Amino acid sequence: MAYSETKVVLGGLAHIPIIIGFFYLIKRQYSLGAMLRTNKNALSNTFANASATPSKESIQVNKASNNKSASKEVANTKEILSKTTGTVKKTVKKSLHSDVPVNTYKPKAPFTGTVTENYSVLKDGAIGKVQHITFDLSNADPEFKYVEGQSCGIIPAGEDAKGKPHRPRLYSIASTRFGDNFAGNTLSLCVRQLQYEKDGETINGVCSTYLCNLSPGDKVKISGPVGKEMLLPEEEDSNIIMLATGTGIAPMRAYLRRMFEPTEIEKTKWNFRGKAWLFMGAPKTANLLYDSDFEHYKSKFPENLRYTKAISREQNNSKGGRMYIQDRVLENAEEIFNMIENPKTHIYLCGLKGMEPGIDEAMTAAAASKGLNWSELRPQLRKAGRWHAETY
Ligand code: FAD
Ligand code: A2P
């Protein structure tokens, strides 16, 4: 049978709906896959980052696109979790920290801040050199905003042995988002100069020496802010246990100012009503950083702040050795674990990396005295966003 040209064209057209249908099915399959992948990422981010919540005062430095995709993730995540428990839904909703700024200034394109002050935070007779250094951020465009518990990068001036720019070093931010002057345009650090002996020679750390020797007016390359591990919870009735050694006090100083400094309270409208307990480790009394501020807060807010010191070279533990914060944790095991049993309690650990095994050991013994297993409890606390650690 011979086909006319018209019949051939009509026959071809009749296949078009089938081809369109075929492409539609392929597209649908891909969109579904992408949606599932997005939700999976949102879920894993949730549990990786579920440390704390963004705060009331909105931080508007995140690029609009970041916020858009983050809120899309929240929406997807909420949808996929809508059949699960209320507790999980609540955690997911609060966990993305989408309004907490991160990497506004990357190490390759840092902001140049100006030093406004640089003073010692040690008393006479202290060991080493520890400085409180403040930078003016007021000319930053985009604004250099940060929240309590974040860190920043410092790129020391000069070059390394290979003639390359120095790599950035991280430092915990010691000020609140409002800065020490409450104007919201400064950032402060608490820096110990690294010094050690090698082959009979004193070696000075590159970045810490650079920072400790800065003078007001000096220009400094700053990147960041970075980090979401050490953020404070938003709830005003949270309980905050802080374990710090040396400059590990930096984020804790910011928390305590946020909780107890009158001008901060006025600015934030955040009325902390929980219990805060600071354990601070220092080699000598003269090395206790910001001690008079904390003593003052304690005297003004005796119901809300406890302050326990471990002064390693002046006090002995029960075995006659140096008194470390883990010994203080053991001494107070009962009360600490009573607090941990409350889901509103968060624990923050910052300072020497070396203290982590000691703290773990103390927590293991303390937990055991309450019939609890620390190796099971710690990951649970972490997963619930209640165990926050940053050591170096
Ligand atoms: P470098 O010149 O980089 O020298 C460091 C190197 O010296 C080490 O890598 C090691 O190889 C060597 N070294 C060190 N000690 C010895 C020794 N005893 N014997 C032999 N070799 C040795 N520091 C603060 O002071 N305050 C903070 O708030 C703070 N926050 C931090 C937050 C985070 C998240 C991190 C990761 C680190 C933080 N640090 C902080 C540490 C800081 O980043 C630097 O590591 C520190 O200042 C040393 O840098 P540096 O350039 O002076 O030393
Ligand atoms: P020490 O140096 O007497 O052994 P700083 O940074 O100002 O030196 O303070 C750090 C504090 O942490 C010091 O009191 C130091 O004690 C103490 N420390 C040192 N090693 C540990 C450790 N493994 N666990 C807990 N604290 C420690």
Choose one of 170, 195, 197 to mutate for the ligand 1 pocket test, by most ligand atoms within 8 angstroms of C-beta: 170
Looking at the fold, whether 285 and 379 belong to one and the same domain comes out as: yes
Q: Is 352 in the pocket of ligand 1 (CB under 6 A)?
A: no
Q: Is 226 helix (H, G, I), strand (E, B) or coil?
A: strand
Write the residue with the smallest CA distance to atom 29 of ligand 1: 171
Asked whether 131 lines ligand 2 (CB < 6 A), one says: no
> Is there a domain that residue 9 lies in?
no
Name the one residue in this structure whose structure tokens are 């995540």.
77
pLDDT band at 16 (very low <50, low <70, confident <90, very high): confident
* Residue 350: active-site member: yes
Residue 219 sits in a domain whose CATH number is 2.40.30.10
Q: What gap in Å lies between CA 125 and CA 134, rounded to an integer?
A: 24
How many domains does the structure of the chain reveal?
3
Is 290 considered catalytic here? no
| pTM of the predicted model as reported, rounded to 2 decimal places | 0.82
- Is 30 known to be catalytic? no
Is 266 known to be catalytic? no
- Which residue among 243, 324, 361 is best mutated to probe the pocket of ligand 2, counting the most ligand atoms within 8 A of its Cβ? 324
Same domain as 121, residue 53: no
Q: Is there a single domain that holds both residue 86 and residue 127? A: no
Q: Ligand 2: which residue has its CA nearest to atom 12? A: 245
Both 256 and 331 in a single domain? yes
Residues 6 or more apart whose CB falls under 8 angstroms from that of 47 comprise 95, 383
Ligand 1 centroid to Cα of residue 219, in Å, is 21
Q: In angstroms, what is the span from residue 104 Cα to ligand 1's centroid?
A: 24
Tokens 């404070």 correspond to: 232
On the question of pLDDT at 276 being above 60, the answer is yes
Chosen domain end from 192, 226, 260:
226
Quote the CA–CA distance of 117 and 386 in Å, as a whole number. Answer: 35
Residue 352 has pLDDT above 70, yes or no: yes
Q: Say which range, 72-81, 192-201, 285-294, has the weakest mean pLDDT.
A: 72-81
**Enclosing domain of residue 331:** 239-391
Same domain for 150 and 86, yes or no, is no
CB of residue 145 inside a 6 A radius of ligand 2: no
Could you tell me the CA-to-CA distances from 21 to 17, 24, 34 in Å, in that order?
6, 5, 20
The structure tokens listed for 298 are 């304690």
Q: Which two tokens stand for residue 113?
A: 């801040």
Identify which has the larger pLDDT, 23 or 358.
358
Dihedral over Cα of 242, 248, 249, 250: its sign = negative
Mutate to test the pocket of ligand 2, among 208, 212, 312 (most ligand atoms within 8 A of CB): 312
The residue count of the chain comes to: 392
Question: Tens digit of pLDDT for each residue in 175-215?
Answer: 999 999 999 999 999 999 999 999 999 999 999 999 999 99
Are residues 60 and 120 both part of a single domain?
Answer: no
Same domain, yes or no: 245 and 134: no
Tell how far the Cα of 282 is from the centroid of ligand 2, in angstroms: 6
323 Cα: distance to centroid of ligand 2 (angstroms): 9
Question: Could you please report the per-residue DSSP string of 85-117?
Answer: -HHHHHHHHH-S-TTS---SB-TTS-EEEEEEE
User: 62: pLDDT confidence band, cut at 50, 70 and 90?
Assistant: very low
Which ranges of the chain does DSSP label H, i.e. alpha helix? 5-14, 16-49, 64-81, 86-94, 206-212, 249-260, 262-268, 291-300, 325-331, 333-340, 355-369, 374-383
Output the average pLDDT for the chain. 84
The pLDDT of 325-349, averaged and rounded, is 95
Q: DSSP assignment, residue 352?
A: -
142 lines ligand 2 (CB under 6 A): no
Give the position, in ligand 2's atom list, of the atom nearest the Cα of 311: 14
Rounded Cα distance, 45 and 172, in Å: 23
258 and 361 together in one domain = yes
What is the distance in A from the centroid of ligand 2 to the CA of 360?
16
Confidence check: pLDDT of 78 > 70: no
Among the candidates 96, 130, 145, a domain finishes at 96
Q: Is the pLDDT of residue 73 over 60?
A: no
Q: Are residues 386 and 277 in the same domain?
A: yes
Kindly state if the Cβ of 248 falls inside 6 Å of ligand 2: no
Is 151 touching ligand 1 by the criterion CB < 6 Å?
Answer: yes
Q: What percent of the chain has pLDDT over 90?
A: 73
Judge whether 2 lies within some domain: no
Q: Tell me: the pLDDT tens digits for 122-137?
A: 999 999 999 999 999 9
Residue 378 identity (one-letter amino acid)? R
pLDDT of 381 > 50? The answer is yes
Dihedral over alpha carbons 329, 334, 337, 338 (to 10 degrees): -140
